[in-house]
Amino acid sequence: MVRQRGYAATSVEDICADAGVTKGAFFHHFASKEALAVAAADAWTDVAAVRIFTLPDWVRLSDPLQRLIAHVDFRLSMMEGAAADFTCFVGTMVQEAYATSEAIRTACDASISAYCARLAEDIAAAIDAHPPRIPIEPLALAHHIQAVLQGAFILAKTKGEPSAARESVQHLQTYIALLFGRGETNEQDDFRQPAGH
């Protein structure tokens, strides 16, 4: 429901009605709407970890670069149908709550940070196994992948349809291929380093 209407627009009563639970029962188990949001973000972290890093077959590929590529392929393959069905609950919620609820922001940060940290492991291993043409910071690339996905979700919501979102992820695929020197055997490495002032 949050992925469809947003956090503020989803009332506790809506949630209760959908869950087949009374408001009294709800407030018996959760101190506030905010507490549910935090619990839901935590639960999302666990569910997403299983769905993305445990269940798929490709997570058992031996080559970490193949796993990384399969990971992005997998995320792309999820982008079809209604946006509310494939977008990120945590990313949606944090946009509304980051400035008003530190508890929610922290829970969403934990969720995204856990995802990026896990992804950075494979990236680090991929760098070891297949030295890229330019130096890569694993966590920074994980952040970039996360950003492309979150941004693609916004595109899908905006367009009402996921083709632009998919185009964006396809460019991410191209980037990873270029980084790890697939397709072209180009020897010069005078690429400018990302400049961080």
Q: Which residues bind DNA (CB under 7 A)?
A: 10-14, 21-25, 27-29, 32-34
Question: Should residue 26 be labelled a site residue for a copy of itself when binding is judged by CB under 8 A?
Answer: no
Question: Should residue 185 be labelled a site residue for a copy of itself when binding is judged by CB under 8 A?
Answer: no
Largest CA distance in the chain: 67
Which part of the chain contacts a copy of itself (CB under 8 A), choosing from 21-29, 31-39, 121-129, 152-160? 152-160
Nearer to DNA, 14 or 167 (CB): 14
CA angle 50, 55, 60 (to 5 degrees): 115
Residue 192 is classified by DSSP as: P
Nearer to a copy of itself, 21 or 113 (CB): 113
Question: Should residue 150 be labelled a site residue for a copy of itself when binding is judged by CB under 8 A?
Answer: yes
Residue 98 CA to residue 105 CA, distance in Å, equals 5
Question: Should residue 132 be labelled a site residue for a copy of itself when binding is judged by CB under 8 A?
Answer: no
Answer for the pair 59, 53: CB distance below 8 angstroms, yes or no: yes
At 27, which helix (H) or strand (E)? helix 23-29
Name residues whose C-beta falls within 8 Å of residue 55's C-beta, 6 or more positions apart in sequence. none
Describe the crossing of helices 33-53 and 64-77 by its angle, rounded to 10 degrees.
120
Question: Should residue 191 be labelled a site residue for a copy of itself when binding is judged by CB under 8 A?
Answer: yes
Nearer to DNA, 31 or 129 (CB): 31
- The distance of closest approach from Cβ of residue 35 to DNA in the complex, given in angstroms and rounded to an integer, is 8
- The distance of closest approach from Cβ of residue 107 to a copy of itself in the complex, given in angstroms and rounded to an integer, is 10
Distances (CA, A) of 62 to 56, 115, 182: 14, 20, 18
At 128, which helix (H) or strand (E)? helix 102-129
Question: Should residue 129 be labelled a site residue for a copy of itself when binding is judged by CB under 8 A?
Answer: no
- The distance of closest approach from Cβ of residue 131 to DNA in the complex, given in angstroms and rounded to an integer, is 52
- The distance of closest approach from Cβ of residue 157 to a copy of itself in the complex, given in angstroms and rounded to an integer, is 4
Name residues whose C-beta falls within 8 Å of residue 192's C-beta, 6 or more positions apart in sequence. none
Q: Which residues are near a copy of itself by CB under 8 A?
A: 4-9, 83-84, 91-92, 94-100, 105, 108-109, 112, 133-134, 137, 140-141, 143-144, 146-152, 154-155, 157-160, 164-168, 170-175, 177-179, 181-184, 186, 188-192, 194-196
